[in-house]
Structure 1
Amino acid sequence: MPLKFVLRPNEKVIINGAVIGAGDRPGSFFLYNTANFLRGREVLKEEQIDCIEKKLYFVIQLIYIFPEDAVLNLQRFAAILAETRDARPDCRDDLEEIERLVEARNYYRALKICRKMFKGGSEGSPNTSEGASEGAAESPVTDPAP
């Protein structure tokens, strides 16, 4: 079953490393095969990192979006995960789940759990500490292995 997603006017999405943007009107799109998919509102820019949780999110995002650099970014992930464990012992279970998901190459779900750890505890946009992640794409399309 394909993944249908709608882009709002001027909204962007990253699919397999390519940035795709909507024009002045909303548009519906379908993904029919396996793809790494991240909405623009779920993308964290490096200059927006203001806490250890966002640092962890950012490195997972890099692994997900740029698989060609995964070896280096997985090393960074291990170091940042250790830092995060020291800084957030209250999130031990979430961090173990994130580690398991990254090892299983289920990066989108790891990002989703990481977003919950941001300040405020809500699963908001990585760009803010609050607000709901509207329509986040979670689909078999992003998870090639069942």
Structure 2
Amino acid sequence: MPLKFVLRPNEKVIINGAVIGAGDRPGSFFLYNTANFLRGREVLKEEQIDCIEKKLYFVIQLVYIFPEDSTLNLQRFASILEETREAQPDAAKTLDEIARLVEGRNYYRALKLCRKLFKGGDGGAGNDGDSPSEAQAPDDTPMTDRMP
């Protein structure tokens, strides 16, 4: 079953490392096969990193979007995860789950869980703070989790 999502006017999405943008009007897209994707509002830019939790999110994002660099970025992830554990001892259970998800290559769900740790509870990676759920299947699962 394909995954349908709608991009707002001028909104962007990264699909398997390629940036795709909508024009002046909303556009519907269907993904028929396995793909790694993040909508623009889910993408955290390096200059937006202002806490250790966002640093952790950013490195998971790099592993997810750029699998060709995953070896180096997974090493960075391990280091940043330990820094986050020291800075957030009360979040041990969540960080354990994030580590489990990353180990299982379920990067999108790890990102989703990591967003919940952001200070201020905004949960949004992008500038508009919108929930990414509009882009997802009913269970909020991306294509990489839905298809074998």
Q: What's the TM-score once normalised by structure 2's chain length? A: 0.91
> Higher relative CO (CA 8 A, sep ≥ 6), structure 1 or 2?
2
Matches within 5 A, 1:30-41: 30-41=30-41
Structure 1 segments (4+ residues) deviating >2 Å: 127-134, 136-140
Preserved contact between residue 34 and residue 142 of structure 1 (Cα < 8 Å): yes
1:39-58 matched pairs, under 5 angstroms? 39-58=39-58
More helix by share: 2
Q: 2:138 matched to 1:141?
A: no
Tell me which residue corresponds to 2:125.
Answer: 126
Gaps of 5+ in 1: none
> What is residue 9 of structure 1 aligned with on the other side?
9
The residue that corresponds to 1:117 in the other structure is 117
Count of aligned residue pairs for this structure pair: 145
Q: Cα gap change, 1:80/1:59 in structure 2, threshold over 3 Å: closer, same or farther?
A: same
In the TM superposition, 1:100-111 aligns within 5 A as 100-111=100-111
RMSD between superposed Cα atoms in Å:
1.8
Normalization by structure 1: what TM-score? 0.92
Aligned-partner Cα distance in 1 for 2:37–2:71: 20
Structure 1 residues 125 and 86: alpha-carbon distance in aligned structure 2, compared to 1, 3 A threshold: same
Q: Give matches, 1:14-93, under 5 Å.
A: 14-93=14-93
The alpha-carbon deviation at position 136 of structure 1 amounts to: 4.1
Deviates more, 1:113-122 or 1:84-93: 113-122
Provide the C-alpha distance between the structure 2 equivalents of 1:4 and 1:99, rounded to a whole number of angstroms: 29
Percent sequence identity is 77
Distance 1:128 1:27, change over 3 A: closer
CA distance in 2, matches of 1:129, 1:28: 20
How many angstroms apart in 2 are the aligned matches of 1:25 and 1:129?
19
